[in-house]
């Protein structure tokens, strides 16, 4: 299943690249496929490339879903161990 | 919210290969993909689950939404009309074009020609795909009673722009003309005369003796009878099936090759090269050409008069309802199975194409086992070509190890 977490753009870099934040983890990605991205925008990243820009509401709803999923995963891991 | 835990939730596929001077000695595919991620939908009203679907599965979000809507419609005992079905097929088709073009323009140049990625060409394709989707309402939803006005003229223009972009950057001619290539001699003539990466790639594969690369005996995923599929996905083994699907005790390939094998050109290549690299690449190219023609046909259906937008049928009022949605995506067949109780999702299962193609004993593993002996760098390159040809929907890592026991 092709899950993809929204990443927040924290800095624009040279050559259509950007630094993004996902839950405190920073990664450098390419913005070459998505136009007009600004700092604080949320993007969907797939194998190192931003493939879509999300509006703030969509990003919030998506992050809430992933947080729930992460919570479920932790609960299940707790049950196992 | 502990989203940090969610980081890496996309999963990866790790391919471990070891070989000696005689050839491949062991192959192992390890997937950390969350094939049970759809459990997050359970306990939600189905309308809410449908809204969540494209947010969660955003890489092939249109196809995922299409399968989810189809499953819920079947469960509710309703069905979309002909024009809405046509609209959905164009939206899924446009997503497939974007994915196929992405591979041809981004992956093929580096892997086969040591050439740079054709980012600008892909941006042009994506711009028209985005415009086409926007003109056609963008999303697949259960109810289309309140569907926004559609811009069929705009859709037609965007489709023409998309066809021109594909002709310029990939086929070197209109896709419809490319589809008149029906045998190997014509294909050779095309790649000799056409100055595109796709043409140069096929020539490089032929000249480099790579056409048979990864040829194996894995068959094309057949149609599984609806009853049998429901029985599996409603049963105790559903989780296992979602993670490592088999049918009739065997693994199968799904995707462009499985779908396009019946076409004359692909069929001839199959006779020459089996399911080797050349056949898989040409199958993807063929599908890309077919898709634009198909989208234009569906656009004509949408232009047709009469009813057809409104979801029709008698809603099933029973408390427990089940439905299946099947959509052919760029990477292969995607299956959603839902069970609703009083309108709330009680159980949700998804079988994604990557699980068929990257099964621990599936098409990729069989293809790698068939590779000839080579040095580590060459072996890594050959494995990368096969992975690309089967196209996982997540990042992957190839590890060539000096020694790897088959059963450890």
* Among the partner residues B1, B4, B39, nearest to A25 by beta-carbon distance: B4
Q: Give me the sign of the Cα torsion angle B280, B14, A3, B348.
A: positive
Flag whether the ipTM exceeds 0.90: no
- Read off the pLDDT of each residue in B170-197 and give the average, rounded to a whole number: 97
Where is average pLDDT lowest: B44-58, B133-147, B339-353, B394-408?
B394-408
Give residue-wise pLDDT tens across range B96-106.
Answer: 999 999 999 99
Rounded-to-integer distance, Cα B241 and Cα B234, Å: 11
Q: How far is A32 from chain B (nearest CA, A)?
A: 7
Buried b (16+ CB within 10 A) or exposed e, B343-375: eebebbbbbbbbbbbbbeebbbbbbbbbbeebe
Pairwise CA distance, residues B280 & B139, whole Å? 31
**What is the SS3 assignment for chain B?**
CCHHHHCCCCCCEEEEEEEECCEEEEEEEEECCCCCHHHHHCCCEHHHHHHHHHHHCCCCHHHHHHHHHHHHHHHHCCECCHHHHHHHHHHHHHHHHHHHHHHHHHHHHHHHHCCCCCHHHHHHHHHHHHHHHHHCCCCCCCCCCCCCCCCHHHHHHHHHHHHHHHHHHHHCCCHHHHCCCCCHHHHHHHHHHCCCHHHHHHHHHHHCCCCCCCCCCCEECCCCCHHHHHHHHHCCCHHHHHHCCCECCECEECCHHHHHCCCHHHHHHHHHHCCCHHHHHHHHHHHHHHHHHHHHHHHHHHHCCCCCCCCECCCCCCCEEEEEEEEEECCEEEEEEEEEECCEEEEEEEECHHHHHCCCCCHHHHHHHCCCCCCHHHHHHHHHHHHHHHCCCCCEEEEEECCCCCCC
Are B175 and B293 a contacting pair, CB within 8 Å? Answer: yes
Q: Does A63 sit within 8 Å of B4, measured CB to CB?
A: no
Pairing of strands B396-401, B13-20: parallel
Distances (CA, A) of B137 to B87, B140, B149, B306: 9, 8, 8, 19
Q: Do A3 and B38 touch (CB under 8 A)?
A: no
Is residue B42 within 8 angstroms of chain A, CB to CB? no
**Nearest chain B alpha carbon to A59:** B55
Give the residue from chain A lying closest to B55, CA to CA.
Answer: A62
- The interface residues of chain B toward chain A in range 103-142, judged by CB-CB distance below 8 A, are 119, 122-123, 126
Q: Evaluate if residue B5 carries a pLDDT over 60.
A: no
| Structure confidence by residue, pLDDT tens digits, B355-376 | 999 999 999 999 999 999 898 9
Calpha distance B73→B401 (Å, rounded): 49
pLDDT of residue B148: 61
In terms of CA atoms, which chain B residue is nearest residue A27?
Answer: B7
What pLDDT is stored for residue B268 in this prediction?
98
CB contact residues (below 8 A), chain A span 49-78, against chain B: 51-52, 58, 61-74
Report the pLDDT value the prediction gives residue B141, as an integer from 0 to 100: 82
Contact between residue B380 and residue B398 where contact means Cβ atoms under 8 Å apart: yes
Average pLDDT for B323-352: 96
B316-332 tens-digit pLDDT: 667 899 999 999 999 99
Share of chain B above pLDDT 90, in %: 76
* Each residue's pLDDT tens digit, B147-173: 567 899 999 999 999 999 999 999 999
Q: Which of A32, A64, A74 sits opposite B5 (nearest CB)?
A: A74
CA distance A53 to chain B (A): 11
Cα B108 to Cα B201: distance, rounded to the nearest angstrom: 7
User: Which of these ranges, B30-34, B156-160, B252-256, has the smallest mean pLDDT?
Assistant: B30-34
C-alpha distances in Å from residue B127, one per residue of A50, A55, B93, B131, B187:
14, 18, 15, 6, 29
Q: Which of A4, A33, A68 sits opposite B122 (nearest CB)?
A: A33
B6·A67 Cβ contact <8 A: yes
Residue B303 binned pLDDT confidence (cut-offs 50, 70, 90): confident
Residue B144's pLDDT band, with cuts at 50, 70 and 90, is low
Average the pLDDT over each of A27-41, A62-76, B314-328, B381-395 and give the range with the smallest value. A62-76
pLDDT tier, A76 (very low <50, low <70, confident <90, very high otherwise) = low
Report whether pLDDT(B3) > 50. no
Chain A residues close to B395, C-beta within 8 Å: 47-48
Taking all residues of chain B, what is their mean pLDDT, rounded to a whole number? 91
Do the chains contact at A63 and B393, CB–CB below 8 Å?
Answer: no
- pLDDT of B209-229, one tens digit each? 999 999 999 999 999 999 999
Q: Count how many Cα atoms sit within 13 Å of the Cα of residue B82 in the half-sphere of its side chain.
A: 11
Q: Report the pLDDT value the prediction gives residue A81, as an integer from 0 to 100.
A: 41
To the nearest whole Å, the CA of B60 is away from the closest chain A CA by 7
For residue B4, give the nearest of A24, A48, A65 by CB distance: A24
- Mean pLDDT of all residues in A44-63: 90
Q: Which residues contact B188 (CB under 8 A, 6 or more apart)?
A: B206
Q: What number is the average pLDDT over the span B41-67?
A: 91
Asked whether the beta carbons of residue A66 and residue B9 sit closer than 8 angstroms, the reply is yes
Percent of chain A with pLDDT over 70: 88
Q: Determine which of B1, B102, B241, B395 to mutate to test the interface with A (most A C-beta atoms within 10 Å).
A: B1
CA distance A73 to chain B (A): 9
CB pairs under 8 A between A and B: 106
How far is C-alpha A11 from the geometric centre of its chain's CA atoms?
14
pLDDT of residue B234: 96
pLDDT of A75 over the 80 cut: no
pLDDT at B405 over 50: no
Local confidence band at B308 (pLDDT 50, 70, 90 cut-offs):
low
Lowest mean pLDDT among A48-57, A70-79, B394-403: A70-79
Give the model's pLDDT for residue B404. Answer: 47
Place of tokens 């069989």: B366
Give the model's confidence band at B80: pLDDT under 50 very low, under 70 low, under 90 confident, else very high.
confident
Q: Above 90 in pLDDT, residue B78? A: no
Interface test with A, best of B32, B40, B245 (most A CBs within 10 A): B40
Q: Supply the pLDDT for residue A50.
A: 93
């Amino acid at each position: 299943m092709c899950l993809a977490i929204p990443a927040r753009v924290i800095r624009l870099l040279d050559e259509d690249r950007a630094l993004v934040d996902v839950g405190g983890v920073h990664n450098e990605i390419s913005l070459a496929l998505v136009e007009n991205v600004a700092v604080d925008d949320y993007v969907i990243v797939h194998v190192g490339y931003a493939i879509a820009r999300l509006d703030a509401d969509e990003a919030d709803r998506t992050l809430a879903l992933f947080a729930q999923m992460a919570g479920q995963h932790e609960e299940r891991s707790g049950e196992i161990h | 919210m502990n989203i940090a835990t969610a980081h890496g939730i996309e999963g990866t596929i790790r391919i471990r290969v070891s070989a000696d001077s005689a050839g491949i000695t062991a192959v192992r595919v390890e997937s950390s993909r969350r094939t049970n991620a759809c459990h997050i939908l359970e306990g939600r009203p189905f309308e809410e689950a449908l809204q969540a679907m494209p947010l969660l599965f955003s890489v092939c979000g249109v196809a995922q939404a299409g399968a989810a809507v189809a499953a819920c419609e079947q469960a509710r005992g309703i069905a979309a009309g002909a024009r809405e079905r046509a609209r959905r097929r164009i939206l899924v088709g446009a997503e497939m074009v974007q994915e196929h073009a992405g591979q041809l323009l981004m992956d093929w140049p580096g892997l086969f020609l040591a050439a740079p990625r054709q980012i600008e060409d892909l941006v042009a394709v994506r711009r028209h795909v985005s415009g086409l989707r926007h003109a056609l309402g963008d999303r697949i939803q259960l109810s289309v009673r309140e569907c926004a006005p559609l811009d069929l003229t705009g859709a037609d223009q965007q489709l023409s722009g998309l066809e021109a972009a594909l002709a310029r950057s990939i086929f070197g001619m209109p896709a419809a003309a490319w589809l008149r290539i029906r045998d190997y001699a014509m294909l050779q003539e095309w790649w000799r005369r056409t100055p595109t990466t796709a043409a140069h790639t096929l020539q490089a594969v032929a000249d480099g003796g790579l056409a048979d690369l990864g040829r194996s005996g894995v068959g094309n995923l057949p149609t599984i009878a609806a009853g049998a599929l429901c029985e599996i996905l409603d049963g105790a083994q559903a989780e296992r099936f979602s993670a490592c699907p088999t049918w009739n005790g065997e693994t199968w390939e799904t995707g462009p090759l499985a779908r396009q094998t019946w076409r004359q050109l692909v069929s001839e290549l199959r006779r020459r090269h089996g399911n080797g690299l050349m056949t898989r690449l040409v199958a993807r190219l063929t599908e890309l050409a077919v898709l634009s023609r198909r989208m234009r046909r569906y656009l004509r259906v949408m232009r047709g008069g009469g009813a057809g937008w409104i979801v029709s049928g008698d809603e099933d009022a029973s408390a427990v309802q089940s439905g299946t949605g099947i959509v052919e995506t760029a990477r292969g067949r995607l299956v959603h199975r839902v069970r609703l109780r009083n309108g709330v999702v009680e159980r949700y299962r998804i079988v994604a194409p990557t699980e068929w193609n990257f099964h621990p004993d599936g098409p990729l593993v069989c293809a790698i086992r068939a590779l000839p002996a080579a040095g580590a760098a060459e072996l890594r390159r050959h494995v990368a070509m096969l992975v690309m040809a089967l196209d996982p929907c997540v990042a992957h890592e190839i590890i060539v190890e000096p020694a790897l026991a088959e059963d450890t």
